[in-house]
């Protein structure tokens, strides 16, 4: 089929979290579906325009899991209670993020340049100045513990990054390890909102697994959420 080769199978499988591949032509999509069906893998074809859009992210650095509500603190300390029955979906996991960091480097000089600068400084009666530092931007991929909470009708999405979150509400339950505090937070949210759908990472934390499920990218993490929302919207209606 056009656009995919046998070597793409490994890449697609590693990043397959609900949505296997995007932006195929109808012919290529049906060809791929037929090939997967022959291997016993059931799939669904969905128009790109029919996939739900995730709401904008609101980053949260503090919130409290109280019996009557999830209390979210904004950047200036105001509190916003969210009724637990308004939480529709909970997604959690260790997500590999792409970050860019500024690293300081000292420019190198040739022996001739160093000798000329030393000679020039001596004539002026001054000490030789050090070359000005330079900075370069380097890309790296780092794991981050993420929790996302989507409200009913996908009107709002809160995101918590464990490294930047204050776990004060845990009180005496607070643990030495960041991953332990993150697990407690996710488990608390799920306990108070049992009606909410949960992704694979949150489900495993609910089962008290010792490690946090890993997602290869934020793209994979969000595609699983998108697919869950599509399934929710297209689930057969139950007859009363």
The confidence band for 208, taking pLDDT boundaries of 50, 70 and 90, is confident
In the chain, where are the structural domains located? 1-49, 52-96+143-232, 101-137
DSSP annotation string for 202-230: HHHHHTT-SSPPEES-HHHHHHHHHHHHH
Q: Does the pLDDT of residue 129 top 70, yes or no?
A: no
Angle at 111 between CA 105 and CA 113, to 5 degrees: 80
171 half-sphere exposure, CB direction, 13 A CA radius: 4
For residue range 79-115, what is the model confidence (pLDDT) as tens digits? 999 999 999 999 999 999 877 666 676 665 556 565 5
In this structure, what token pair is assigned to residue 28?
């290529």
For residue range 35-50, what is the model confidence (pLDDT) as tens digits? 878 878 787 888 888 8
Pairing of strands 87-105, 79-82: unpaired
For residue range 158-197, what is the model confidence (pLDDT) as tens digits? 999 999 999 999 999 999 999 999 999 999 999 999 999 9
- What is residue 58's predicted lDDT score, i.e. its pLDDT? 94
Q: Does the pLDDT of residue 138 top 90, yes or no?
A: no
Question: Containing H/E element for 140?
Answer: strand 134-151
| Site of tokens 């204050």 | 166
The percentage of residues in the chain with a pLDDT greater than 70, rounded to a whole number, is 77
- What is residue 133's predicted lDDT score, i.e. its pLDDT? 67
In this structure, what token pair is assigned to residue 141?
């991929």
The percentage of residues in the chain with a pLDDT greater than 90, rounded to a whole number, is 49
Q: In the chain, where does DSSP find H-type helix?
A: 8-14, 26-38, 111-124, 178-192, 200-206, 218-233
């Amino acid at each position: 089929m056009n656009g995919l080769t046998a070597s793409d199978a490994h890449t697609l499988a590693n990043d397959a979290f609900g949505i296997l591949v995007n932006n195929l032509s109808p012919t290529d999509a049906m060809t791929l579906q037929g090939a997967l069906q022959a291997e016993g893998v059931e799939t669904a074809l969905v128009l790109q325009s029919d996939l739900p859009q995730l709401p904008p992210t609101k980053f949260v650095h503090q919130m409290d899991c109280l019996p009557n509500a999830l209390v979210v603190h904004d950047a200036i300390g105001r509190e916003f209670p969210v009724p637990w029955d308004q939480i529709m979906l909970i997604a959690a996991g260790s997500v590999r993020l792409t970050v860019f960091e500024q690293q300081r480097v000292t420019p190198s000089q040739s022996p001739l340049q160093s000798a000329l600068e030393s000679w020039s400084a001596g004539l002026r009666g001054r000490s030789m100045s050090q070359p000005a530092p330079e900075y370069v931007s380097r890309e790296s991929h780092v794991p981050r513990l993420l929790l996302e909470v989507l409200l009913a009708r996908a009107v709002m999405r809160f995101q918590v990054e464990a490294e930047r979150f204050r776990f004060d509400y845990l009180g005496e339950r607070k643990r030495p390890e960041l991953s332990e505090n993150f697990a407690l937070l996710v488990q608390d949210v799920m306990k108070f909102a049992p009606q909410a759908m949960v992704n694979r990472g949150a489900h495993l934390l609910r089962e008290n697994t010792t490690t946090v499920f890993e997602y290869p990218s934020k793209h994979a993490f969000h595609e699983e959420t998108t697919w869950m929302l599509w399934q929710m919207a297209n689930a057969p209606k139950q007859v009363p």
